[in-house]
Chain A
Amino acid sequence: MSLRTDQHRDASATGPPDQPGPIPGTGRAAKASASHAGRAPRSLVPVAAIAVAFLVLPLVGLLQRAPWSDLGSVLRAPAVGDALRLSVVTASASTVACLVLGLPLAWVLARSPFPGRRVVRALVTLPMVLPPVVGGAALLFSLGRRSPLGMVLENAFGITLPFTTTGAILAQTFVAMPFLVITVEGALRTGDRRLEEAATTLGARRWTVLLRVTLPQVAPSVLAGAVLAWARALGEFGATITFAGNLQGRTQTLPLAVYEVLQNDPGAAVVLSLVLVVVSLTVLIALRDRWTPTA
């Protein structure tokens, strides 16, 4: 049985080009090119340099417009502290939600063939292409006070989600979870299965294999997926403002604060954006080194 599903998996792994970049050890081909082919052809370097410039130049634009002399006063504004705290808290909470819900989903998608799996896979990654504003509106129509589900939540449990911090976390989870799911699913689908098979042959139960063999194997991808999800949640704007609204201390995350301030004080907005950049870069650099141990 395991041999048959293995073949199926390999066939489908070469199919959809929906794999995100930072998956370590994606497939045998990737592994082979990493160990044998060595450096990239020289002619690629200028193109890569253009890509770097394209991605980094806007950042330089921000730095150049930053009102360095007002830095202290902008950062001391209470709205900034509130927004930063709220952003870190909601992004972290939604990352936890992504892990709790997204890991089992990734596992099922990767390892349990069922009819319609391709459709389910497409559906759950849809929030990646859906404009976040539309996602927010969809959440409002499905979980808002006037929706059937929202009415049940309000009447039975007294819970309303729009305009609450929980709502902001939900909005972020909605847009961020696909990043975790496809990262982990990719690793599970294409990873080396021989260790698992060995463990099974030696009599380990499914849960034991999952926790002691598979999970450690895909741990770097789980971390990568979680960081991607966290970063996506941290920068989330459209779904949050549409579903959760915009109130300082409750739902006004840093991106929302930037948008508000940008309208009459672009300098202050630049400072807030730089805060977001510094926080994200710190996390990305710190974790990046962990998930690429040979770097």
Chain B
Amino acid sequence: MIDHPFAGQVCRVALIVPLLIGLGTGCASDGDDQPSGTYRREGVTGSITVFAAASLTDSFTELGTAFEEANPESTVAFSFGPSSALVTQITEGAPADVIATASTTNMKDLVDADALGGDPTEFATNVLQLAVPPDNPGDIDALDDLADEDLIVALCNEEVPCGKFAREALDKAGVEPSIDSNEEDVRALLTKIEAGEVDVGVVYRTDVEAAGDAVEGIEIPDDQNVTATYPIAVTGEADNAEGARALVDFVLSEDGRAALTEAGFGSP
């Protein structure tokens, strides 16, 4: 129903990559005086509302800033949360222009509800890791440790992709976890691990990366691990469909890919 008049007309400049890396390391951007033609797209104006999985918080915030610098007439507003909740909000009419989830299952719900303005595109993958507070007070080294009743073990909620994948991984490893809390999304879980209140949780590799020294990551072997695939799409009711398509193209561009790789995401 909706064409993509700008599809393919992607103007990339290599400058954006150092810019993104600069933002990623937390440098303050003095962008006001900077020329902003690095990823300019004619006709992109106004606010673009992006609903994105909690695990995309850091990388999408960066990408959004880079997009705004390239397209000064547009602003990107984010709503990060559990993919399942975002999908429910959109089917109930929440005003999102772009939706990116941490699971193809959630996106399929939107396809089934006829709530998208085009086919979703897979743009990133992620794998699970165990996350523990610094110096690993619970002495965790593998998924089996999650069965220990003396430890405070938390997962994401079963309805949320990271919770669903964590349970799949535990199933594969044949571990019956002794769960103390089901957190609302991966970032809520990560915060409690950072605070040292949870001894171990199952999160994405990218969350461990983003947390820096605040948590330690422990790899889960491939035969027990689960790969999350992230799709992105323009919503059917997008108020700013043009801006939404430009942003999706940006995420799918080499520059977008570079930023996601930097954050620890894999290629689909």
Contacts and interface: CB of A to CB of B under 8 A. Distances in A.
| Chains A and B belong together in one complex | yes
A264 interface: yes
Nearest to B91: A266
B179 A145 contact: no
Interface in B67-123: 82, 84-85, 87-88, 92
A125 B139 CA distance: 42
A253 to B, nearest CB: 13
A263 interface: yes
Contact of A144 (B160, B182, B196): B196
A247 B179 contact: yes
Contacts of B192: 140, 162, 245
B262 interface: no
Given A141-B195, A145-B197, A260 B180 contact: no
A146 B152 CA distance: 13
Given A263-B160, A264-B84, A246 B184 contact: yes
A271 to B, nearest CB: 15
B196 A146 contact: yes
Contacts of B188: 241-242
A140 B198 CA distance: 11
Contacts of A174: none
A242 B196 CA distance: 14
A264 B84 CA distance: 6
A263 B196 CA distance: 28
B181 A246 contact: yes
A179 interface: no
B82 A245 contact: no
Contact of A262 (B88, B152, B195): B88
Contacts of A259: 184
A230 interface: no
Interface string A255-284: 000011111101000000000000000000
A201 to B, nearest CB: 56
B181 A251 contact: yes
B157 interface: yes
Interface residues of A, number: 24
B239 interface: no
A260 B92 contact: no
Interface in B159-192: 159-160, 179-184, 188, 192
B127 interface: no
Contact of A260 (B152, B159, B197): B159
Interface in A214-264: 241-242, 244-247, 250-252, 259-264
B143 interface: no
Interface in A102-160: 140-141, 144-146, 160
A162 B192 CA distance: 10
Contacts of A141: 195
A246 B182 CA distance: 5
Contact of B197 (A144, A261, A262, A266): A144
B236 to A, nearest CB: 19
B181 A245 contact: yes
Contacts of A163: 152, 154, 180-181, 197
Interface string A162-178: 11000000000000000
Nearest to A164: B180
A146 B160 contact: no
A262 B182 contact: no
Contacts of B196: 144-146
Given A146-B196, A247-B179, 18 more contacts: A140-B195, A144-B195, A144-B196, A144-B197, A162-B152, A162-B197, A163-B154, A163-B197, A245-B154, A245-B183, A246-B183, A259-B184, A260-B157, A261-B159, A262-B88, A263-B159, A264-B84, A264-B88
14 contacts: A140-B195, A144-B195, A145-B196, A145-B197, A162-B192, A163-B154, A245-B180, A246-B157, A252-B182, A260-B182, A261-B159, A263-B157, A264-B88, A266-B92
Interface of B: 82, 84-85, 87-88, 92, 152, 154, 157, 159-160, 179-184, 188, 192, 195-197
- For the complex of A and B, list the 9 residue pairs with the smallest distance between their C-beta atoms, beginning with the closest: A245-B181, A263-B84, A146-B196, A163-B180, A263-B159, A263-B85, A144-B197, A246-B182, A162-B197
